[in-house]
Amino acid sequence: DAGVIQSPRHEVTEMGQEVTLRCKPISGHDYLFWYRQTMMRGLELLIYFNNNVPIDDSGMPEDRFSAKMPNASFSTLKIQPSEPRDSAVYFCASSPESGVVPQHFGDGTRLSIL
């Protein structure tokens, strides 16, 4: 079975540019999560969706960050404009149904803002 697929794996761009990270969850999973990992703050939940609807975006750091899930098989996390402090590894994860079930993680996108 294909796992959670993220693209790109690496992104290097200059400050001020728009960055779009992409995620394809595991087919049939109803929940999708976006995380950010940094040395200073560890793993932080940014936002999560249930059945394509954003449920909790309290972890989104600023208005520069936005996330969408136009259908069950695709989600994007956008940063506009990007800043050097946004440099981090961004993970997407998905899980099936509701209740307490493990999340399945993608391999992440390593983002560097120069």
Partner 1 sequence: AQSVTQPDIHITVSEGASLELRCNYSYGATPYLFWYVQSPGQGLQLLLKYFSGDTLVQGIKGFEAEFKRSQSSFNLRKPSVHWSDAAEYFCAVVNTGGGNKLTFGTGTQLKVEL
Question: Which parts of this chain interact with partner 1 (CB under 8 A)?
Answer: 4, 31, 33, 42-43, 45, 48, 50, 55-56, 91, 93, 95, 98-108
Residue number, 74 or 105, with CB nearest to partner 1: 105
In the bound state with partner 1, the residue whose beta carbon lies nearer, of 36 and 79, is 36
- CB of residue 48 to partner 1, shortest distance in Å: 7
Residue 7 structure tokens: 């693209």
**Least distance in angstroms from the C-beta of 81 to partner 1:** 27
The beta strands (E) that lie in 57-97 are given as: 65-71, 74-79, 88-95
Question: What length does the chain have?
Answer: 114
Report angle CA 16, 18, 23 to the nearest 5 degrees: 145
Q: What share of the chain is helix, strand, coil (3-state, %, to 5)?
A: 5, 55, 45
Q: How far is the CB of 104 from partner 1 (least distance, A)?
A: 8
Please say which residue, 9 or 83, places its beta carbon nearer to partner 1.
9
